[in-house]
Structure 1
Amino acid sequence: MIVAAFLLSTFSSEALAERPLEYFATLPTFSNPTLSPDGTKIAVEMAVDGEQRMVIIGLDGSSKPVVVSAGETEIWDIDWVGNDWLVLNVVFDGRISERSLFGEETQMSRLIAFKADGTDLHTLESKKDKPLANGGNVIWTGDDENPEILISYPTSVFWKDPGFFPLVMRVNVPKNRFSLELNPHEQVRNYYTDADGVIRFGVGHERGGRRVRLIYRDGAGSNLKERAWAEGDDDLPVPSVFLEDGKSAIALATVDGYQGAYKLDLETMTFGEKVYGVNGYDLDGIITVDGELAGYTWVDTVRQNFWIDPRLKTAQELLDLTFPGKKVSILTTDDDRNRVVASIGTAAGPSEYYLLDVAKKDVRLLAKPLEQLARGGNGSVTTVTYSARDGLKIPAILTLPPGREAKGLPLIVLPHGGPRARDIERWDWWSQFLADRGYAVIQPNYRGSTGFGKAFVDAGDGEWGLKMQDDVDDAVTWAVEKGLADPERVCIVGGSYGGYVAMRAAQRNPDIYRCAISFAGVSDMPRMLRYSSDSYFGPSSREYWLGRADDLARVSPINHVDKFGIPILLVHGKEDWRVPINQSRELAEKLKAAGKDVVYIEQAEGDHFFSRMADRAQFLEEMEKFLDKHNPAS
């Protein structure tokens, strides 16, 4: 095995002996890589001047990297169209014509096309239509001989408008030429193709937004017809990959309490034999390459892949042998499955990225993002399990500060967002920054988190701010009983839904915590219901929010400012389309009016995802200052 260096010196940074705050705020210099179909080039997100940019790199080293900027936008997705063209899906915040969503801004998007050398950059937009709020979602890509894409293309984000349900357009990428591929179907919002670009099925809701349904056709010569219905998205038979017999597919389904991969009869839309599953965990993905089944993916304590494709299986084995004791994740491959890019690392350190040529057994280092934090001295990361007060077992990620005895430590409880998500053992800049400052950090996978089976997810239904909140509080009880944490030095920190949990803790259980910090949290759920149900998902969104708790107003912190009993820091970005800034701004105003101890920070250019280094740095600085005052680590 040959291991050679292939670092991009243009984007390297000088190592420093100390670990200042800026190290943790630094955006990764290499993330989300995507190989071109022929494996000669790679598209990757890189931090350039403190903001994420798309960079195209020729892997033969003969040309300089090409930096592509689409203005003040966030990179959402990237697709190669053959080897010479790329399409970038970018999002930004704004208002749609003169309409507003109860005074809020919303997400807008565009598709930006450009050549691999960075030239001929143009927006993909029909010349016959006015600019749209949503530039479309790519559902199929062509090749060098046919540089076309299919996009799902709505003309309004307001569900009562005729254009809310998307049509499908065929777009010639170089010429920006649009032609109609499929007219809209009422209540169908997502369409899917086979490997040849034939639209095979769509998924949407029934009128009224309750049950979900699938429309399907055998091929291009037939019409899409309703073929299956279900009470929820997880129960609908949705093909992930079509099999060669033309009569069956592989699909994810929850049959025995955990999601697995099953054979799906396309005539009857019924599940047959289970082809792959993992005991005690949900399978959360079927991996395809060029429309062919390549493997399966899931998470136990870390991300795992099981490869069906023999070439990718060989690649995994070669990388595992080259990097013993490290977590190896194949991220992208060329069409021949000969060249792959993989991340290599541990939960206690940022990953490195390598290029493997399977035929040559040649491994080359592409990049060491966050190299200044990869030299050791980070907090140890493990998975623990504790019992909630009703006996439910709650998995959690525990990060301990380096060089300190795990006894009587100041503790930060860090619940994840979502809440239909989960924390795993991986590099996390929030928890590692806090550990670096001397705190133990526990990240509870409270009921309602994904990956642990249907019963565990369902246990969170209707429990926002209630049993889900209890699960988070019970992490403190466990840490104190283990002697790990000092019960007098506990604070709670969270973002998005985790920010809601922090707000709710300050209002509901101020006796447990000394302080709370919320980034982009939800304080007023009835307002979120109005905001979401007017756009995007309409009635289905309303159903979702109504199912979060029996009484949304009762579990909304903004309605109980008199009960806030600890200092709270609120941070929110003005460019956040996921959770509007008024969710924090108005809570701060009410808390100040009530004489409560609140610090409120608005980030003028901040979004929901910390896409800018300046916003990350400001958040860490304000959090550190707040904790030093209210819960010092020493």
Structure 2
Amino acid sequence: MTESNGANPDEGTISQHAAMPHDEAMPDWEKRFRAPRVSLPDWAQDAPHRSLFVSNATGTYELYAWDRETGAQHQVTDRPNGTTDGVLTPDGEWIWWFDDKDGDEFGVWRRQPFDRDESAPSGPDEAAAPGLDPSYPAGLALARDGRTAVVGRSTDEDGSTIYVTRAGEDPVEIYRHRESAGVGDLSHDGSLIAIEHTEHGDAMHSALRVLRLDGSAVAELDDTKGGTVELGLEVLGFAPVDGDTRLLVGHQRRGRWEPMLWDVASGEETDLALTGRLDGDLSAEWYPDGSALLVVHSYEARSELWRYDLASRRLERIPTPKGTVSGATARPDGSVEYLWSSAAEPPVVRSTSGEVVLDPPGMKSPGSVLVQDVWVDGPGGRIHALVQRPAGVAGPLPTVFDIHGGPTWHDSDSFAAGPAAWVDHGYMVIRINYRGSTGYGREWTDALKHRVGLIELEDVAAVREWAVTSGLADPDRLILTGGSWGGYLTLLGLGTEPDAWALGIAAVPVADYVTAYHDEMEALKAMDRTLLGGTPEEVPERFEASSPLTYVDAVKAPVYISAGVNDPRCPIRQVENYVTRLAARDAVHEVYRYDAGHGSLVVDERIKQVRLELDFAERHLGR
């Protein structure tokens, strides 16, 4: 593992990794991983000149503080396996960050002052919520008084719990349930807390409850009640004004995600009348003065920004380039900062003021090729696929079907170093927003229940048929690959369609569904019960039908598997069970185990894994 070397206090900015190879000796695919990147900076509500962001500038993804008035930046965390979960207190005085062990996602919140000793590579840390044992995080909300926090926790023993903590006092439990729940947001005056819960047992569709800080209930909003169709809700944020009891809520009442206002005191709901004005999914957040909403519009694997004035109900487009906005925030001066990229252009933090907000020093990432949209008729409706081909090369090509994780996620026209590496090596890459993916309506996302894995693979098969019959893909050189849920679909696809694939590469996969269920974190157990309709003991036939282990003896293609030994989502024991079965019949396979959780935050480790995957494909498939 590579350790970070800290920030350079003389420059006051993030610094590059000291051991980085010379640019000239490095292929483009590796430069894309090594080039310094930054996340969209978060900013303190009452001190907007203070910001927090994530960067890989030292070779490991860590948290950085940024004082916009002075321009000074410093590294906040410095851990061998990296850190990405951090929050600024509203007054900007403290930085909270989540401290787990080796990527296992089980740990405690720590904090350090925003101002620090400039001679130290990172600030002094202390327990941010004393009295709370380690857990999986389930949301966090920090009050403007500087001493109150609402902390969500999840453990196998207790299920979901929520505590109110105050400086110098013991934590007070205000919520507990066996099913999944988490902290949504704290009202501007710190008197109300909105939580998302799944007490009804459907982990895919949350209900909302608003509590006082003593745990007493104020209001409930539950779209799962009545009827057979489950609808989800999500907390988008309280109005940023003292005494304003309006909560911005995401709902699915019209078959897609869109925002509305809910006054938790009166119960009044305000429809924002966006139906028919914008297709696709909509999310939103408040402008800092509460007069308008910043709307993120996601449609067919791309996104854009709009400003919605609450008084006039006027919807005004905020110009952004064609591609994907991965995050956006409205600043007190009325400008909007956003993180943008496309498949061809690397990410950049931009502002509607026309400037690049945060540009890390050092090597710049090379671009890649444009993505082509393809729509294929499938058994459940039209399937959207994103295709990238090496420039100037005719088919049929060796083709990588890169399957996204989630499953409630989607591939988009955004920059991705992994697919770009395959394209650099002469492969066509196809990414598929199969049933279960977000961004194509609630019915599309919810379609995979009970026949988990098998439904998604029907869509993959339809796109594969198109790719081959169109003459673009070489049917004898098809690679199935993916990470997390994509790794699961890879192993399942290799066993259920053994003659369709020449090679399989699975990263952090579900391999043995029953063992994975028993070993995984509690929140994912709840999700699996929702997807499959019960536990392995209650619906054994569904777990068997959806488990790659069921079909492992049918696998013909060489298989490469990588797994984190501390992974709480796709635990290592179930991977070992699958590998043991491969080895028992001398099936061609290779396994790479690494010291991290569900993926790595260390750039060298990420590069190593991609290099091993490319090498495996070269040796077993050739070009």
**TM score, norm. by length of structure 1:** 0.81
Distance in 2 (CA, whole Å) between partners of 1:278 and 1:382 is 27
Deviations 1:84-120 (A, max 9, x none): 32112243359xxxxxxxxxxx531221211223356
Note if contact 2:303-2:323 (Cα within 8 Å) is conserved in structure 1: no
Residue in structure 1 matched with residue 146 of structure 2 by the alignment: 147
- Work out whether 1:445 is the aligned partner of 2:409: no
Residue in structure 2 matched with residue 621 of structure 1 by the alignment: 611
After superposition, where does 1:51-450 map in structure 2 within 5 Å?
51-60=60-69, 63=72, 65-69=74-78, 72=81, 74-93=83-102, 107-119=105-117, 121-125=124-128, 127=130, 129=131, 131-134=133-136, 137-142=139-144, 146-154=145-153, 157-159=155-157, 161=158, 164-172=159-167, 177-180=168-171, 183-186=174-177, 189-191=181-183, 192-206=185-199, 213-216=207-210, 223-224=216-217, 227-231=220-224, 235=231, 240-241=236-237, 249-264=247-262, 266=264, 273-277=271-275, 281-290=279-288, 292=290, 294-300=293-299, 301-308=301-308, 320=320, 331-334=328-331, 336-338=332-334, 341-354=337-350, 358=353, 363-364=355-356, 366-367=358-359, 371-374=363-366, 376=367, 378-388=368-378, 390=379, 392-405=381-394, 407-450=395-438
Distance in 2 (CA, whole Å) between partners of 1:338 and 1:273 is 24
Q: What's the Cα RMSD here? A: 3.8
Distance in 1 (CA, whole Å) between partners of 2:140 and 2:202 is 25
- Structure 1 residues 507-516 or 180-189, which shifts more? 180-189
Note if contact 1:112-1:121 (Cα within 8 Å) is conserved in structure 2: no
* Alpha-carbon shift at residue 470 of structure 1 (Å): 1.4
* Alpha-carbon shift at residue 73 of structure 1 (Å): 5.2
- Work out whether 1:30 is the aligned partner of 2:28: no
* Alpha-carbon shift at residue 67 of structure 1 (Å): 4.5
- Sort the Cα spacing of 1:150 and 1:136 in 2 relative to 1 into closer, same or farther, 3 A: farther
* Alpha-carbon shift at residue 253 of structure 1 (Å): 2.0
- Work out whether 1:42 is the aligned partner of 2:44: no
Distance in 2 (CA, whole Å) between partners of 1:267 and 1:524 is 48
Identity of aligned residues (%): 18
Consecutive unaligned residues of structure 2, counting only runs of 5 or more, are 1-10, 118-122
- Sort the Cα spacing of 1:269 and 1:469 in 2 relative to 1 into closer, same or farther, 3 A: farther
Consecutive unaligned residues of structure 1, counting only runs of 5 or more, are 1-5, 95-105
* Alpha-carbon shift at residue 530 of structure 1 (Å): 2.1
Distance in 1 (CA, whole Å) between partners of 2:524 and 2:324 is 38
- Sort the Cα spacing of 1:169 and 1:537 in 2 relative to 1 into closer, same or farther, 3 A: farther
* Alpha-carbon shift at residue 319 of structure 1 (Å): 6.9
For residue 586 of structure 2, the aligned residue among 591, 595, 602 is 595
Which SS does the other structure have where 2:30 is aligned?
helix
After superposition, where does 1:433-582 map in structure 2 within 5 Å?
433-532=421-520, 535-536=522-523, 542-546=529-533, 551-582=542-573
Distance in 1 (CA, whole Å) between partners of 2:280 and 2:437 is 11
For residue 602 of structure 2, the aligned residue among 595, 599, 612 is 612
Which SS does the other structure have where 2:429 is aligned?
strand
Which SS does the other structure have where 2:448 is aligned?
coil
* Alpha-carbon shift at residue 469 of structure 1 (Å): 0.8
- Sort the Cα spacing of 1:270 and 1:491 in 2 relative to 1 into closer, same or farther, 3 A: farther
Amino acid at match of 2:558: P
* Alpha-carbon shift at residue 169 of structure 1 (Å): 1.8
Distance in 1 (CA, whole Å) between partners of 2:273 and 2:562 is 46
* Alpha-carbon shift at residue 403 of structure 1 (Å): 3.3
Note if contact 1:39-1:339 (Cα within 8 Å) is conserved in structure 2: no
Which SS does the other structure have where 2:616 is aligned?
helix
Amino acid at match of 1:294: L
**TM score, norm. by length of structure 2:** 0.82
Note if contact 1:75-1:90 (Cα within 8 Å) is conserved in structure 2: no
- Structure 1 residues 83-92 or 506-515, which shifts more? 83-92
Distance in 2 (CA, whole Å) between partners of 1:83 and 1:171 is 17
Distance in 2 (CA, whole Å) between partners of 1:246 and 1:82 is 20
- Structure 1 residues 378-387 or 192-201, which shifts more? 192-201
Distance in 2 (CA, whole Å) between partners of 1:271 and 1:60 is 40
Which SS does the other structure have where 1:494 is aligned?
strand
Distance in 1 (CA, whole Å) between partners of 2:276 and 2:29 is 40
